[in-house]
């Protein structure tokens, strides 16, 4: 195994702005791309760049979005994929190498009829979903008797409970933390605080994970303007430098063939990120472990080294802020202060990235961590999509 | 190559409209129709792998042979589905067990399916299982059956 450890782009690329439409259960008669366009305009205006300056675009519907926004010409355009760490890595690569100077990156989230009853009653969403399902083809032919896809996280959560003789209320801490944080985020979809009793009483979906362990289907979008650190200094908002970023995937990456809780994509990410970065967990002011499923957050906390494997309960309980009903590491570092995927909405990491940028720009409103300088983003799960980034204020 | 008693590629595809069949994985699915769990094994170095790949991921030999497994193993992951899309023979009210089994053939070689003939509270990680076959949606489906009194 040879992890990537060089980091010639360290602090060379910066977020100039981040913006969101905000998230709701249903934005009504919109499309995925109309939401993206809304967020893009907000990000471009917040950064104070001219649309003619944008020469790179990263997202899921680039030709349409560029055309709608009237961006005259780009020299770099690539699909983003999810979670959003792929977009960060692509933007850094494009800008540091000179393929683009000013990149517009966006991610749109559009409820689909497979996990939203209201979406299923919208004939246009239903038609879009059928087209997507037809394009993707079939599965593995095993129907529900499979752990391929998102179910894989539930399966490995069962392994965690077994190996460490844990109980599922451990995951409940992540759900409660996120909801307490979302109460202070006007962009979040779920803002009513919950208790551990609420968590334990909530609907079981796939044991050991219940509905509150799973991210919330939403409508909305985030967008970002990313450019050289030098250029960002002259724009409207304080620049947020990408200090280090990486992805990670191991050979046995199919959900049921993944070797163990000690060897998966997160470990590949962390080995590389740690080597690239001068800053690590002791320097972090605000922490963003992915939470598309609560169990993923537990794994990121442990694997990043905040505590040992199987020690998340001790770590969370000893860093629990009773007053705020949330995690506050060493009494100062919040975890997903925007409410994360479980409460702000299932943004596949764009919400985490936006909040990290806002925290480091001092724009996080009543959630603001005083004097925040360093943020750690650990996005994605175990199998095909683990990612990490360290952002900092110069 | 299919034997005289096995399906053509076109017939196989028609039996699996819900799966992404191709020239590499078709041998695995053809095995299922004949109630045989055939996983890829390297004829040169002996390494097993799943899902099917065109070469041995260990030694890169193309001499990969779909080979029936012994069918014994240990439950490694275990979940219970309380909801899901309707499927023939699946009762989410039970709820429906799905387990990943580590096969005795090789450490880390695993196969996932449901468990039959057991109460859910008996289906635990570490339990020993034996391969069995059930019918689902008009096709044979490999499923696991607990082996009495064995635990690992």
Give me the total of CB pairs closer than 8 Å, taking one residue from chain A and one from chain B: 102
- pLDDT score at A321: 98
A267/A351 Cα distance (integer angstroms):
23
- pLDDT score at B149: 72
Q: Over the stretch B21-33, which tens digit does the pLDDT of each residue have?
A: 999 999 999 999 9
A325/A341 Cα distance (integer angstroms):
18
Token readout for A361 is: 């720009």
Question: Per-residue pLDDT for B119 more than 60?
Answer: yes
Q: Do A204 and B81 touch (CB under 8 A)?
A: no
Q: Do A206 and B29 touch (CB under 8 A)?
A: no
Find tokens 């782009």 and name the residue.
A9
A82/A84 Cα distance (integer angstroms):
5
Question: Per-residue pLDDT for A207 more than 80?
Answer: yes
Residues from chain B that touch A259, judged by Cβ atoms under 8 A, are 108
Distance, in angstroms, between A143 CA and closest chain B CA?
A: 7
Q: Which of B124, B72, B61 is nearest to B103 (CA)?
A: B72
- pLDDT score at A130: 86
A195 falls in which pLDDT band (50, 70, 90)? very high
* Least confident among A128-132, A185-189, B138-142: A128-132
Indicate which of B29, B98, B121, B133 best probes the interface with A, i.e. most A CBs within 10 Å of its own CB.
Answer: B98
Token readout for B144 is: 């696991």
* Chain B: residue whose CA lies nearest to A133: B18
Indicate which of A135, A144, A211 best probes the interface with B, i.e. most B CBs within 10 Å of its own CB.
Answer: A144
Rounded to an integer, the average pLDDT of A148-156 is 96
B35/A31 Cα distance (integer angstroms):
46
Strand order in the sheet with B38-42: B48-49, B38-42, B64-68
Q: Do A141 and B18 touch (CB under 8 A)?
A: yes
* Chain B: residue whose CA lies nearest to A205: B82
Helix (H, G, I), strand (E, B) or coil at A267: helix
- pLDDT score at B148: 81
- pLDDT score at B3: 63
- pLDDT score at A129: 85
Distance, in angstroms, between A137 CA and closest chain B CA?
A: 7
Q: Would you tell me how many other CB atoms lie within 10 Å of the CB of residue A291?
A: 30
B21/A357 Cα distance (integer angstroms):
44
Name A306's Cβ contacts closer than 8 Å, sequence gap at least 6.
A281, A315, A329
Indicate which of A141, A148, A166, A382 best probes the interface with B, i.e. most B CBs within 10 Å of its own CB.
Answer: A141
Question: Per-residue pLDDT for B150 more than 70?
Answer: no
Token readout for B117 is: 């003939």
Q: Which of B59, B30, B29 is nearest to B43 (CA)?
A: B59
Element counts in chain B: helices (H) and strands (E): 2, 8
Q: Do B136 and A144 touch (CB under 8 A)?
A: no
Q: Over the stretch A266-325, which tens digit does the pLDDT of each residue have?
A: 999 999 999 999 999 999 999 999 999 999 999 999 999 999 999 999 999 999 999 999
Residue A166: is it exposed, middle or buried by C-beta count within 10 angstroms (0-12/13-18/19+)? middle
Which contiguous run of DSSP H or E holds residue B116? strand B110-116
Q: Over the stretch A350-371, which tens digit does the pLDDT of each residue have?
A: 999 999 999 999 999 999 999 9
Q: Which of residues 30-49 of B touch A (CB under 8 A)?
A: none
A173 falls in which pLDDT band (50, 70, 90)? very high
Q: Do B98 and A137 touch (CB under 8 A)?
A: no
B104/A20 Cα distance (integer angstroms):
51
Find tokens 């399916």 and name the residue.
B113
Q: Do B98 and A138 touch (CB under 8 A)?
A: no
Q: Over the stretch B5-16, which tens digit does the pLDDT of each residue have?
A: 789 999 999 999
Token readout for A218 is: 């939403």
Contact B93, B103 (CB under 8 A): no
Indicate which of B30, B51, B77, B138 best probes the interface with A, i.e. most A CBs within 10 Å of its own CB.
Answer: B77
Name A197's Cβ contacts closer than 8 Å, sequence gap at least 6.
none
Token readout for B116 is: 């039959």
Q: Do A206 and B82 touch (CB under 8 A)?
A: yes
Q: Do A145 and B83 touch (CB under 8 A)?
A: no
Residues from chain B that touch A254, judged by Cβ atoms under 8 A, are 50-51
Task: Tell me, yes or no, if B134 comes closer than 8 A to chain A by beta carbon.
Answer: no
* Chain A: residue whose CA lies nearest to B82: A205
Q: Which of A99, A103, A214 is nearest to A154 (CA)?
A: A214
Q: Do B20 and A144 touch (CB under 8 A)?
A: no
Q: Over the stretch B73-89, which tens digit does the pLDDT of each residue have?
A: 999 999 999 999 999 99
Question: Per-residue pLDDT for B1 more than 70?
Answer: no
Q: Over the stretch B88-117, which tens digit does the pLDDT of each residue have?
A: 999 999 999 999 999 999 999 999 999 999
Q: Over the stretch A4-36, which tens digit does the pLDDT of each residue have?
A: 999 999 999 999 999 999 999 989 999 999 999
Which contiguous run of DSSP H or E holds residue A9? none
Residues from chain A that touch B19, judged by Cβ atoms under 8 A, are 138-141
């Amino acid at each position: 195994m040879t992890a990537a450890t060089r980091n010639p782009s360290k602090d060379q690329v910066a977020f100039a702005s981040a913006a969101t439409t905000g998230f709701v259960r249903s934005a009504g008669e919109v499309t995925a791309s109309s939401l993206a366009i809304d967020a893009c305009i907000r990000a471009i205006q917040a950064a104070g760049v001219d649309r003619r300056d944008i020469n790179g675009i990263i997202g899921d519907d680039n030709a349409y979005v560029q055309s709608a926004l009237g961006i005259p010409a780009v020299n770099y355009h690539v699909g983003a994929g999810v979670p959003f760490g792929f977009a960060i890595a692509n933007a850094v690569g494009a800008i540091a190498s000179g393929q683009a100077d000013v990149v517009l990156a966006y991610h749109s989230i559009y409820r689909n009829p497979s996990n939203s009853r209201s979406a299923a009653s919208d004939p246009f969403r239903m038609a879009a979903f059928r087209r997507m399902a037809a394009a993707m083809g079939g599965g593995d032919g095993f129907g529900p008797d499979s752990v391929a896809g998102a179910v894989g996280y539930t399966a490995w959560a069962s392994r965690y409970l077994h190996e460490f003789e844990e109980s599922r209320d451990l995951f409940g801490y992540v759900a409660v933390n996120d909801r307490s944080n979302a109460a202070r985020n006007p962009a979040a979809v779920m803002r009513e605080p919950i208790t551990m009793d609420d968590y334990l009483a909530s609907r079981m979906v796939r044991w050991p994970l219940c509905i509150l362990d799973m991210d919330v289907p939403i409508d909305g979008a985030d967008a970002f303007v990313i450019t050289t650190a030098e250029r960002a200094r002259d724009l409207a908002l304080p620049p947020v430098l990408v200090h280090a970023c990486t992805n990670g995937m191991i050979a046995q990456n199919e959900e049921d063939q993944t070797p163990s809780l000690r060897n998966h994509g997160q470990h590949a990410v962390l080995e590389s990120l740690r080597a690239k970065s001068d800053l690590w967990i002791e320097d972090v002011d605000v922490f963003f472990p992915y939470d598309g499923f609560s169990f993923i957050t537990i794994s990121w906390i442990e694997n990043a080294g905040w505590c040992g494997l199987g020690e998340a309960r001790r770590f969370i309980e000893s860093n629990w802020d009773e007053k705020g009903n949330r995690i506050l590491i060493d009494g100062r570092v919040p975890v997903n202060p925007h409410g994360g995927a479980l409460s702000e909405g299932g943004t596949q990491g764009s919400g985490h990235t936006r909040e990290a940028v806002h925290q480091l720009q001092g724009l996080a409103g009543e959630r603001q961590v005083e004097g925040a300088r360093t943020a750690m983003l650990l996005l994605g799960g175990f199998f095909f999509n683990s990612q990490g980034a360290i952002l900092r204020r110069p | 190559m299919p034997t005289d008693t096995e399906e053509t590629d076109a017939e196989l595809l028609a039996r699996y409209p819900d799966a992404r069949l191709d020239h590499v994985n078709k041998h695995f699915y053809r095995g299922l129709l004949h109630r045989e769990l055939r996983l890829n094994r390297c004829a040169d170095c002996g390494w097993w792998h799943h899902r099917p790949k065109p070469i041995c991921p260990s030694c890169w030999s193309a001499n990969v042979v779909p080979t029936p497994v012994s069918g014994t193993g240990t439950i490694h992951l275990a979940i219970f589905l309380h909801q899901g899309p309707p499927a023939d023979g699946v009762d989410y009210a039970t709820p429906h067990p799905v387990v990943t089994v580590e096969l005795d053939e090789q450490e880390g070689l695993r196969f996932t399916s449901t468990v039959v003939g057991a109460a859910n509270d008996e289906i635990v990680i570490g339990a020993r299982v034996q391969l069995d076959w059930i019918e689902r949606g008009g096709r044979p489906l490999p499923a696991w059956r607990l082996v009495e009194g064995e635990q690992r």
